[in-house]
A and B are shown apart, each in its own frame.
Chain A
Amino acid sequence: MSRTTSSAIPRSTVATMAATRRSVLRGIGLSGLAVGGASMLAACGGDDAGPSTGSGATVKFGINEAEGVGPAYDRLAAMAEAYTKETDTKVSLNAVDHNTFQESINTYLQGTPDDVFTWFAGFRMAQFAENGLITDLSDQWPIDGLNDSFKQAATAPDGKQYFVPVQYYPWAVFYRKSVFEKNGWAPPETNDDFMALMEDMQGKGVTPFAFGDKDGWPAMGTFDILNMRLNGFDFHMSLMAGDEAWDGDEVKQVFETWRTLLPYHQADPLGRTWQEAATAMGKGECGMYLLGTFVVDALGENGEDLDFFTFPELDSSIGSDALDAPIDGFCVASAGQNQEAGKAMAKWLGSAAAADAANSNADAPFIAANEGASTSTYSDLQKKSAEVVGAAANIAQFMDRDTNADFANTVMIPSIQAFLKDPDDIDGVTASIQEQAASIFG
């Protein structure tokens, strides 16, 4: 859940209001019927008439954006339309609210899913691949314009590709150019600069970091970056995979460092959504905000006054060349009715033409994964994002995409919140995480 588009209405309200087939299924799942339900549903499917690919065929396209919520939907709808124009394949769009889509993904894939659907790279994709819920797309790769690092991100542990990337967004420290200019501040180069900058901000009555963690996931970004800066990318990834101890000195050091940084953060983060925190930075009450580029969405402007820098180095032996940059894209569902058409469309969705169709039809363009895509509609912020990610040596997906979803949602969210409530009990928090991790990872 690293990204939410509904800003005015609480996420779950939207989910509740959208009484879709999936929310009904989810309700059944709650009452325990899902046990039989999932396999029962897998058995019933539609029988499509007409050719399976090319002219006259129909591909079902499930997207995790509801109609009218903003540029994200517009982009996907534009892609579907462009595909129909180009190949004469009819695309039947199934638009579902972002959170509803994510919450019911399990039932969805085991029921009667659409042929192609929006999804994410990382553990979330690998998990579906391992369980045979998504189709092997290795015969579609390589895809023109998608470089090796994207191919890597599309690869499951079995070495095959199951995913087609379309866009990505880096997590970095955002700030308002005008605010920095007015106060004579500059992006920090070293940790000393960084500390001095924060001291200066506090001296001028500005809270250095905006911070909100009511939804639980935004603070994961802080953990990720601190862990990557203090313990390195490789340690971070094996910690996420459940291969390192959560109560070891490395993780404790992350929390210790975080504790020393907390006084520079906005107080009471647990009652504040990321949108509210972004607003505080937008108004200049806070100097910086560590978040993904989607921070722009909450500011209600195009981001011309916004700039960012990557989190500075904390340990010179580790450097600062790793960052979180989640990749979004598409998978083909194994239970989809039209495999061939689904694969063909998935491949096309990764092309430069698809990215261009999306970006020229929406107010805010995304940063295309395909290097052949036109950047003419990009803002400076997007161009810089592409540059920074291109220059990064290691890219993580984000905690809830890099590790087991069960663990991320049921253990890490409450544990990080417990730490933020009581930053002095690091031993208690890490011990509790380790106990639960041992039980979940087995």
Chain B
Amino acid sequence: MTHIDEAPRPAAAAPPRGREKKLPGKDRATVITMVTVPLLLVVLLVWVPAVLSFVLSFGKWNGFGDLDTIEWVGVQNYEDIFTIYPAFWPAVQHNLIWLAFLFVFPTILGMLLAVVLDREMKGSRLYQTAFYMPVVLSLALIGFIWQLFYSRDQGLINQVFNTQVDWYGDPDINLWAVLVATAWRHTGYIMLIYLAGLKGVDASLREAAAVDGANEVKTFFHVIFPVMRPINMVVIVIVVIESLRAFDLVWVINKGRNGLEVIGALVAQNVVGEATRYGFGSALAVIMMVISSVFITIYLRTVFREERSR
């Protein structure tokens, strides 16, 4: 193992700390541009809409006319969502099921596939392509493809097995049917990310483990997996994001109704199309934002703790 960059440098080469603060004019301009441009974009594209959604969530507005036509109703939208909106609690539950399912099945399967493919067996590139193929497709298209399998009267599954299962219409089944379709894509996605991570692991670590007499499984769990901590974090974040933004597939199928309620679809139902309950939809969006910020906070805390402990 050679860590050239960590080799002790001659003390004279290190610039005195005080001088670091004063950059030459040109460099300073560069730094300022590089900070302000993305900052402005983030503020404009993320924070302004977020704050506006928050403000709107206290109003009742159908989007007609100017802003002064907004009727301010306080927390009524939130109250309605929690008490009389039948779709809300099922949606929260479905998002959670989505999250758990993605973690337990396709994510672990994707990792497993990555580990297997990493061993560079014969035809691994072929498999890699095959597994990755669905990721290229949009989720809307995937919904369409799976419709051909799932249709109750004309679908492939019911035709082949001579059954009459209402895959997309039965609210007890359709969520799972959709999750299988999602998994088809998610597995390939995780596989590719993990594979990239595995390729980056220093080969000498494996050699060292092998010399120490560890078998493959032990090597993976005791050496490789801990080393891949950053990638593991990325995978966790991706799974959380994917389950929170669960939307496209259910929207294609039945616009997120009848057993397929997810928060994202409820937001869309209320603000997209002719039904324009902007206030109500914004309140749902704010709730979604709060939920996702819980995960973001946990993630950031973990990352910062790690940085500090270094």
List the interface of chain A (C-beta within 8 A of B). Answer: 9-10, 12-13, 16-17, 26, 29-36, 38-39, 102-103, 105-107, 110, 124, 127, 131-133, 214-216, 267-272, 276, 279-280, 400, 405-406, 408-410, 413-415, 417-418, 421, 432, 435-436, 439-440, 442
Contact = CB atoms under 8 A, between A and B. Distances in A.
Given A32-B285, A271-B169, A272-B152, A432 B53 contact: no
Nearest to A405: B274
Nearest 6 CB-CB pairings of A with B: A271-B169, A32-B49, A405-B274, A131-B64, A409-B275, A270-B169
B166 A268 contact: yes
A5 B52 CA distance: 37
A432 B277 contact: no
A214 B259 CA distance: 12
Contact of A39 (B66, B143, B267, B272): B66
A276 B138 contact: no
Given A32-B56, A436-B85, A439-B80, A214 B267 contact: no
Given A406-B275, A409-B269, 11 more contacts: A32-B285, A33-B48, A33-B49, A39-B66, A106-B276, A110-B64, A268-B164, A270-B258, A272-B153, A414-B257, A436-B84
B154 interface: yes
Interface residues of B, number: 61
Nearest to B171: A421
Nearest to A28: B49
A133 B65 CA distance: 9
Contacts of A214: 168-169, 254
Interface in B253-286: 253-255, 257-258, 267-278, 280, 282, 285
Nearest to B144: A13
A29 B267 CA distance: 11
Contacts of B269: 409-410
Given A30-B268, A409-B275, A9 B168 contact: no
Interface of B: 45, 48-50, 52-53, 56, 60, 62-67, 76, 80, 84-87, 138, 140-141, 143-144, 147, 151-154, 164, 166-171, 174, 248, 251-255, 257-258, 267-278, 280, 282, 285
Given A270-B170, A280-B153, A432-B86, A30 B275 contact: no
Nearest to A270: B169
B52 A13 contact: no
5 contacts: A12-B140, A105-B274, A268-B164, A271-B169, A410-B277
A103 B170 contact: no
A349 B213 CA distance: 85
Nearest to A36: B52
Contacts of A133: 64
A16 B138 contact: yes
A18 B120 CA distance: 41
A26 B272 contact: yes
A394 to B, nearest CB: 25
B169 A272 contact: yes
Contact of B277 (A268, A271, A406): A406
A106 B274 contact: yes
Contacts of A132: 65
A276 B150 CA distance: 13
B213 to A, nearest CB: 55
Given A271-B167, A271-B174, A32 B53 contact: yes
B76 A439 contact: yes
Nearest to B64: A131
A268 B151 contact: no
A215 B254 contact: yes
Nearest to B169: A271
Given A133-B64, A270-B258, A414 B87 contact: yes
A127 B274 CA distance: 11
Contacts of B48: 33
Contacts of A38: 63
Contacts of B87: 414
A268 B174 CA distance: 12
Given A30-B272, A32-B50, A406-B62, A13 B169 contact: no
Contacts of A10: 143-144, 147, 252-253
B24 to A, nearest CB: 39
B272 A29 contact: yes
A311 to B, nearest CB: 25
A415 B154 CA distance: 27
A12 B251 contact: yes
A127 to B, nearest CB: 8
Contacts of A440: 277
Contacts of A103: 272-274
A268 B152 CA distance: 9
A39 B67 CA distance: 9
B305 to A, nearest CB: 32
B154 A421 contact: no
A271 B170 contact: yes
Contacts of A16: 138, 140, 248, 252
B123 to A, nearest CB: 33
Contact of A13 (B50, B143, B166, B282): B143
Nearest to B45: A31
Contacts of B144: 9-10, 13
B168 A13 contact: no
A33 B52 CA distance: 8
Interface centre among A32, A131, A214, A279 (most CB of B within 10 A): A32
A435 B85 CA distance: 9
Contacts of B86: 414-415, 418, 432
Contacts of B50: 32
A87 to B, nearest CB: 32
B298 to A, nearest CB: 24
A440 to B, nearest CB: 8
Contacts of B171: 270, 421
Contacts of B167: 271
A124 B76 CA distance: 26
B153 to A, nearest CB: 5
Contacts of B270: 406, 410
Nearest to A35: B52
Contacts of A33: 48-49, 52
